[in-house]
Amino acid sequence: MRVTKTKNKIFIFVCIFILVILPTMIMAQSSNDVIVSLPKGAKERRSERLAIIVGINEYYHNESFRNLSYAVEDSKVMGDILERKGNFTVERYADDWYSSKPTKRNIMEAVYRAYEEVTDGYVKTLVFYFSGHGFELNKRQYLAVGSTDASRPGTAISLEEVLSILSEAQKRAKVIVLVDACRNDLSKGGGYDSWSDINSYGLAVLSSTLPGKRSYEHPRLKHGVFTYFLAEGLSGNADYNNDGYVSYNEVNEYVSYEMYKWSEDHSDIPQYPHSYKSIKTGEFYITKVKKRDSPPPPKPPSNNTEEGIFDHFELGLDLKFGSTGLGIGDYYYMELFLPMAAGVKIYFDMFLEDWFGVGIETELCYSFIDTYSHYLLVSDDSYTVMNGSHFFGTLSARAVFEFDLVSDGSTKVPLIVKLGLMYPDSFFNFEVTGGAKYKISSDDLYFSLLLSLGIPQLCSFELALSFKF
């Protein structure tokens, strides 16, 4: 009897080993997949493409952030598109019952884990997508999780930290960062763009809005505006060359153009996306879509469509103090001492690029020659002494060159070349102006300290306030 029981036990153990343990060992040895501790909702790795998707509706500090309506739905749609059309393995973090909780710890652990998998060579393309609240504080950009208190930035995710980690990952993989969140400045410093500080060899970033601006969701779209057009583009609308693939450049152009048109129709909530991609990144596809039988849609005229052919405009008011100077040609006059004149000018510049613009200016000056002698040399070489103050003005065309002194664009070095006509004397006026230009508010208000040298206006010091729009 004892022998029989022993045999039965051995028989049961062998059956369990054959049916359960042995197949598991064989699968583990033959599988090329990475064995990692995956969060809730994440699937076993089946490709070299990984997407970390975050969507947060519920915020507990309502004095800092109101609850959102569509961020979770945004994350669901983006996860589905990337999984079905991009062959991405999706890790989703959202405040719904079937996703991992979108806490700061969980999200940052996912970012670090993705970095390790890229470093180990298992992941070749990585997407990080976030939909929720965002903000800027003391020139740093943050992504808010549900427990974030805006007065305690340590409770939020530092976007710079995420970009720094991923910029290291991209040395071995293609990395795309998609952020549907506000970038408004809570410290009122305004519009700091930290992306240019990231070592971005291969890193591509597409944000839903410009530095210092807000992002919106819309009840008619039932999505964030940015994500709505992003999902359309990745689903095939952005396949301009109809090759069956949607690339980063294509979806960037599609989203930029569609949001420009949206902003024209919704001027109360304008929103323009902001993209950054290293010139070393190269082109790469995100989703694979069905080719169309009909011709592809027309390609947008420009990737930067916010202001048509112009990058931005600038309107300024300038106070100047100095000499009225030196004339050439048949007439020659010089005021002997400084300061001899004071004036005010108004100018309007149209920038074709961030660093170059053309414009027009007009000024009205008052010359104090009742205190000093003013000598006029006429064509017959005789001298006439002129006393008495008088007004004069100029109308000039100008070319403006601006160079960033620091990477965030808050301090610039302007160089301005002007050619115009003085009245009522009908002299030609030529000036070269240089100095320093400082950003003093989040609303693109600048203060400039300038020095002008020219003919006939010899030298003048200028203080200017200008507004960029």
Inter-residue contact 166 to 172 (CB < 8 Å): no
Residue with tokens 């170059």: 356
Amino acid at the residue 328: I
Cβ neighbourhood burial of 230 (10 Å; 0-12, 13-18, 19+): buried
What are the DSSP E strand ranges found in 120-216? 125-131, 134-137, 140-143, 157-158, 174-180, 203-207
For 180-190, the pLDDT digits (tens) are 999 887 765 55
Contacts of 130 (CB under 8 A, 6+ apart): 54, 143, 178, 179, 180, 181
DSSP code, position 197: G
For 18-66, the pLDDT digits (tens) are 555 444 443 333 333 332 334 444 445 557 899 999 999 999 877 778 8
The torsion region of residue 197 among left (phi > 0), alpha (psi -120 to 50) and beta comes to: alpha
Distances from the Cα of 445 to the Cαs of 195, 359, 441, 459, in angstroms? 22, 18, 5, 26
What are the DSSP E strand ranges found in 61-198? 89-94, 125-131, 134-137, 140-143, 157-158, 174-180
- DSSP structure string for 31-95: --S----PPTTPPPP-SSEEEEEEE----S-TTT-PPPSSHHHHHHHHHHHHHHHH--EEEEEES
For 337-374, the pLDDT digits (tens) are 344 678 888 989 888 877 788 999 988 887 765 433 34
pTM across the whole model: 0.57
Neighbours of 117 (CB within 10 A): 20
Distance, CA of 449 to CA of 435 (rounded, Å)? 6
The structural domains of the chain, ordered by start, are 39-288 (3.40.50.1460), 312-468 (2.40.160.20)
- DSSP structure string for 397-455: EEEEEEEESSTTSSEEEEEEEEEEEEETT--EEEEEEEEEEEE-STT-EEEEEEEEEEE
Distance, CA of 449 to CA of 43 (rounded, Å)? 59
- Predicted confidence pLDDT, tens digits, the chain (469 residues): 444 445 555 656 555 555 554 444 433 333 333 323 344 444 455 578 999 999 999 998 777 788 999 999 999 999 999 999 999 999 999 998 878 899 999 999 999 999 999 988 899 999 999 999 999 888 788 999 999 998 888 999 998 899 889 888 877 888 899 999 998 877 655 555 555 555 444 578 899 998 888 899 998 899 999 999 999 999 999 998 888 999 988 999 999 999 999 888 887 888 999 887 754 555 778 999 988 776 656 666 544 433 346 667 888 888 887 765 443 433 434 443 344 678 888 989 888 877 788 999 988 887 765 433 344 444 444 444 444 566 778 888 999 998 877 655 678 889 989 888 877 766 788 888 888 888 786 556 888 888 888 776 667 788 888 888 7
Burial of 301-311, coded b for 16+ CB within 10 Å and e otherwise, reads eeebbbeeeeb
Distance of CA 276 to the CA centre of its chain: 7
Peptide bond into 219 cis (omega under 30): no
Calculate the dihedral angle through the C-alpha atoms of 119, 123, 125, 130, rounding to the nearest 10 degrees.
Answer: -90
Distances from the Cα of 413 to the Cαs of 237, 307, 436, 445, 449, in angstroms? 42, 24, 5, 15, 10
